[in-house]
């Protein structure tokens, strides 16, 4: 059975989790700990996991899985009791989060709703991601397989990440790829997947230039005026805000 040290550890972890919610949810800055404890589904799920994990570590049968399942039904957050979670995790909004059995999460990590730290198939052994300290995983992101996400990285909302992520980087898209490393766009061939050349647009532009030249030639030969508007391809106008096609 868990000893007094385990209870002390769980109490400390819960205090840190509450502080994390207060620091990282802009809507919680003026909210007291009791209110967070009563109203935050992600905090409930984590609190329950801290207890289930301690029971699991102490070799208690059935109860940890039962507790995890009841918590899933109530909060919509499923955390396997064996998953290793560091200090001050914040699961914002909670719903739809899945954290697999062999997942490992460092300290001060933030997960938004709909995040999956899952496996890719039916393999056994270490098959879930390892997340470093200070990582933010955006809503709906799927991190699959025994990949490693380096410390202080950000995973964009709705990304599907199946490869290791370097530290201090931003990864977006499906498949997830770095768009910032140490604050800069990645350099080198094939590094910047969000700004690929567009061979179809290039071909159309070439054709339009040839048509323009032919129109001028026809006008010259026939002694007529060339068209006032030469054929040209206008570049696609980028909408305001982030490019939804990026990634």
Residue 150 interacting with ligand COA (CB under 6 A): no
Instruction: Return the number of the residue (64 or 178) whose C-beta is nearest ligand COA.
Output: 178
Among the candidate windows 54-62, 122-130, 172-180, 210-218, which touches ligand COA by CB under 6 A? 172-180
Instruction: State which of residues 10, 60, 194, 211 lies at the interface with ligand COA (CB under 6 A).
Output: 194
Half-sphere exposure of 12 (CA within 13 A, CB side): 9
Residues 74-113 that bind ligand COA (CB under 6 A): 93, 112
User: In whole angstroms, how close is the CB of 116 to ligand COA at the nearest point?
Assistant: 13
Cross-strand pairs, 85: 105
CA distance 77 to 6: 23
Instruction: Return the number of the residue (83 or 179) whose C-beta is nearest ligand COA.
Output: 179
CA distance 126 to 123: 9
Of how many residues is the chain composed?
A: 247
CB atoms within 10 A of CB 3: 10
**The CA-based dihedral angle spanning residues 233, 235, 239, 244, taken in that order and rounded to the nearest 10 degrees:** 110
Residue 167 interacting with ligand COA (CB under 6 A): no
Instruction: Return the number of the residue (160 or 231) whose C-beta is nearest ligand COA.
Output: 160
Instruction: State which of residues 172, 176, 177, 178 lies at the interface with ligand COA (CB under 6 A).
Output: 172
CA distance 218 to 223: 8
Token digits for 221?
């030969």
Instruction: State which of residues 39, 69, 120, 242 lies at the interface with ligand COA (CB under 6 A).
Output: 242
CA distance 52 to 62: 10
**Binding-site size, ligand COA (CB under 6 A):** 19
Residue 243 interacting with ligand COA (CB under 6 A): yes
Binding site for ligand COA (CB under 6 A): 93, 112, 136, 138-139, 154, 156-158, 170, 172-173, 179-180, 194, 242-243, 246-247
């Amino acid at each position: 059975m868990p000893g007094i040290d385990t209870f002390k550890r769980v109490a400390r972890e819960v205090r840190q989790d509450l502080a994390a919610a207060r620091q990282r949810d802009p809507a919680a800055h003026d909210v007291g700990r009791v209110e967070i404890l009563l109203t935050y589904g992600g905090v409930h799920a984590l609190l329950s996991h801290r207890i289930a994990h301690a029971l699991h570590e102490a070799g208690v049968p059935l109860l940890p899985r039962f507790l995890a399942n009841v918590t899933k039904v109530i909060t919509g957050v499923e955390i396997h009791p064996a998953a290793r979670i560091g200090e001050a995790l914040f699961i914002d909004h909670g719903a739809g989060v899945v954290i697999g059995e062999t997942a490992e999460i460092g300290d001060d990590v933030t997960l938004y709703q709909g995040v999956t730290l899952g496996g890719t198939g039916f393999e056994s052994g270490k098959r879930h991601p390892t997340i470093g300290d200070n990582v933010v995983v955006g809503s709906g992101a799927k991190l699959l397989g025994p990949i490693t996400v380096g410390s202080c990285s950000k995973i964009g909302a709705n990304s599907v990440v199946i490869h290791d992520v370097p530290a201090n980087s931003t990864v977006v898209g499906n498949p997830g790829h770095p768009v910032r490393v140490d604050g800069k766009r990645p350099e080198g061939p094939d590094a910047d997947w969000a700004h690929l050349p567009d061979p179809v647009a290039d071909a159309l532009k070439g054709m339009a230039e040839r048509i323009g030249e032919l129109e001028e030639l026809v006008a010259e030969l026939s002694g007529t005026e060339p068209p006032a508007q030469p054929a040209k391809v206008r570049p696609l106008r980028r909408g305001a805000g982030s490019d939804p096609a990026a990634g």
